[in-house]
Amino acid sequence: MQENYDKCLETILHHEGGYVNHPSDPGGETNMGVTKKVYVAFGGTKDMKDLEFNDVAPIYRKNYWDRLKCDNVPVGLDLCLFDFGVNAGTGRSAKFLQRMIGTTADGGIGPNTLKKLADYIDTHGLEETIKEFQEDRQDYYEKLSTFKTFGRGWTRRVEETTELALSMVWVSTAKTAEDSTKVD
């Protein structure tokens, strides 16, 4: 859903910030969260310091949102899956979700994962699913050797993303309830 993609991308770009080339960051030269390697592989030719929204939006759509099948994931959880995919890799994000819901953790989201996810949400609820995914994500960060350097930022990102994801669920639920009460 384009509307939710745009809202999620806005959040991602807020967290990713602008140009950085931190010596402790294994991603190297990055702007708006896109590494130079990814940008060049996508056909980009600008200097990394000159990237703009329109340069990175198609990369995020194809390489992250679409790869993680976020259009097929419930609102709120799509943001969490997308954000973790951007920050730690789409395969890792997908595998965390797959392990959590008890399906084969192959890093590719397809019909089987989506069916198992729907069953999991039916049992546990969407809000609890989001919270559990984000807790697993935080645990992952805390085990990284670079947590001492980047941990505060990662923790803030997880907290902010969780809060926004849950609010997206509440807004979506309220809108669905409102739509169901309208008379033709």
What are the φ/ψ torsions at residue 146 (nearest 5 degrees)? -95, 10
- Structural contact between residues 30 and 47, judged by C-beta atoms closer than 8 angstroms: no
What is the value of pTM for the model shown? 0.86
Both tokens of 109, joined, read: 């989201």
pLDDT, residue 1, reads: 55
In sequence order, the β-bridge partners of residue 20 are 30
d(CA 25, CA 30): 9
Q: Is the pLDDT of residue 24 over 80?
A: no
Q: Is the pLDDT of residue 122 over 90?
A: yes
Q: Is the pLDDT of residue 17 over 80?
A: yes
Mean pLDDT of 24-41: 87
Mean pLDDT of 38-47: 93
Q: Output b/e per residue, 84-94; b: 16+ Cβ within 10 A.
A: bbbbbebeebb
d(CA 178, CA 170): 12
pLDDT, residue 176, reads: 58
- Nearest to 8, CA basis, from 67, 99, 83, 63: 83
pLDDT, residue 26, reads: 75
